[in-house]
């Protein structure tokens, strides 16, 4: 048994943080890429079915929303801060 296998058996992973950015959620046009979103949802559902808690963090929400609202990202009148 390798050291990594030993650690995995002693400390089972029960929580996973997934960070998803704009490029993972949208097409180059800025519109939401439904196929990518569906694939992500299915993968998260599989993890949940295996008993793993999934925390989804999306820095892409603003970018996806801007495309949906047809906002020009280059001339957006507000400053956006990510924390």
Residue 76 included in any domain: no
Residue 30 included in any domain: yes
pLDDT band at 44 (very low <50, low <70, confident <90, very high): very high
pLDDT of 35 strictly over 60: yes
Residue 14 included in any domain: no
pLDDT band at 26 (very low <50, low <70, confident <90, very high): confident
Residue 11 included in any domain: no
Residue 9 included in any domain: no
Residue 17 included in any domain: no
Give me the domain span that covers residue 46: 25-68
Looking at the structure of the chain, the number of domains it has is: 1
Distances (CA, A) of 51 to 30, 46, 73: 34, 9, 39
Residue 14: which of 52, 43, 60 has the closest Cα? 52
Q: What angle do CA 22, 28, 31 make, to 5 degrees?
A: 70
Residue 82 included in any domain: no
């Amino acid at each position: 048994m390798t050291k990594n296998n030993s650690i995995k058996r002693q400390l089972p992973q029960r929580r996973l943080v997934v960070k998803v950015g704009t490029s993972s959620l949208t097409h180059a046009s800025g519109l939401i890429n439904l196929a990518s979103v569906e694939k992500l949802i299915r993968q998260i559902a599989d993890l949940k079915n295996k008993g793993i808690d999934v925390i989804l963090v999306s820095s892409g929400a603003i970018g996806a929303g801007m495309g949906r609202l047809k906002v020009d990202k280059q001339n957006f009148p507000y400053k956006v801060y990510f924390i």
